[in-house]
Chains A and B, each alone.
Chain A
Amino acid sequence: MTLVRRLLVILIAAAAISAAALTYLYVNRQGPEATGGIAIGGPIHLTDQDGAKFDSAVMSGKPYAVFFGYTHCPDVCPTTLSDISQATDAIGGNAKDFTTLFVTIDPERDTQSVMKDYISNFTAKVVGLTGTPEEVAAVAKEFRVYYAKVPTSDGGYTMDHTAVVYLMDRHGEFRSVISYNEDHDAYVRKIKEVLAD
């Protein structure tokens, strides 16, 4: 009887561990880094901060970063753009020309002139991109970026949005992501990697 009970306990424990391991694998499988052959990224056709049409084909031959955000974003967006600035400043050399495409997911408020002022807050080379809601949605879809308006009591809204930096190589292929909570060293390492690619 005791032996049966002991076996049962072992079996239950083994089942629990397997379940935990499977859950872990399942959850982690969904990270953008583990794309499993799913393409991330695609052509970007938007309007830059000077009102010029932007086509990501101009980035051919140069690695770059893509980050989706909005200017009413209190922390994540300025912190991320500031972290990129800090990393490219630290790397120096050709990193000075490393360009970040900052795509607004709030094109109604983030007009071309707002974007122009906003990107001037950062020392990194940033192209501020906006467009019609449809144009922005098309680009967000290519990068599998989620965003949604969240209404506030005054009739306004805030935005939920995917907050990772996509690193693209010189062929315009997705290489890696930098997540929100990664530190300065990770920014430096990953940007160096994509520059050397």
Chain B
Amino acid sequence: MRALNFLLFFAVFMLSLNTIASAEDYKLGDLEIVDPWGHAPLKGTDVAEGFLKIVNHGATADRLVAVTVDFAKTAQIHEMKMNGTTMQMAELKDGLEIPAGATVELKPQSTHLMFMGLSRRPAANEKVPGELTFEKAGKLKVEFVIEPAGASMPMNMDNMNMNAN
């Protein structure tokens, strides 16, 4: 069992190396978009999440106002936070501000993209096309690398049944 865990951990580790190696970095004006990725949908759900890092090298703030992906009817920017024992989830209806000189990271258990109304269920290791719209910098086509549900929480990986799709 321990050996199995180790093997699994090793596999996940190699997989993550592979992902880092193939991480995409995009430029749009003063904005740098690093490594868009997402979670494969869990079985029984009609949602998936996306993540990315945005670096604003410019002297003026910009704003991520819209996101689209080819496999979901809608994509929204959701802010998740804990208020005591309550988890609060809200759509950022006016978009996400990227202050001048700042790095904004969308990540698990924090602000993230929520893909809803899935027309298809992307599997781990798939690359799915999407488009980001910024208020000032305009539109940018990107590819989201899909990771297994629960990825980036490697501690949890071996307790998720992997036939999630």
The stretch of B8-16, B28-36, B97-105, B154-162 in contact with A is: B154-162
Which parts of A118-173 form the interface with B (CB within 8 Å)?
118-124, 146, 150, 152-154, 156, 158-164
> Given the interface contacts A150-B89, A154-B76, does A74 sit within 8 Å of B114 by beta carbon?
yes
Nearest opposing residue in chain B for A110, CB measure? B44
* Count, A-B residue pairs, CB within 8 A: 122
Instruction: Choose from A153, A179, A184 the contact partner of B155 (Cβ within 8 Å).
Output: A184
Residue total for A at the interface (Cβ-Cβ under 8 A): 45
B49 touches A74 (CB 8 A): yes
A42: Cβ under 8 A from any B Cβ: no
CB distance from B8 to the nearest CB of A (A): 12
CB distance from B126 to the nearest CB of A (A): 19
CB distance from A134 to the nearest CB of B (A): 22
Nearest opposing residue in chain B for A117, CB measure? B44
> Given the interface contacts A86-B159, A122-B160, A158-B91, does A146 sit within 8 Å of B43 by beta carbon?
no
Residue total for B at the interface (Cβ-Cβ under 8 A): 37
12 residue pairs bridging A and B, Cβ less than 8 Å apart? A73-B87, A74-B39, A74-B47, A79-B109, A79-B156, A82-B153, A124-B159, A154-B76, A160-B86, A160-B88, A161-B87, A180-B85
Which are the 3 A-B pairs with shortest beta-carbon distances? A117-B44, A118-B44, A85-B159
Name B's A-contacting residues (CB within 8 A): 39, 42-47, 49, 74, 76, 78, 80, 82, 84-91, 93, 108-109, 112, 114, 116, 149-150, 153, 155-156, 158-161, 164
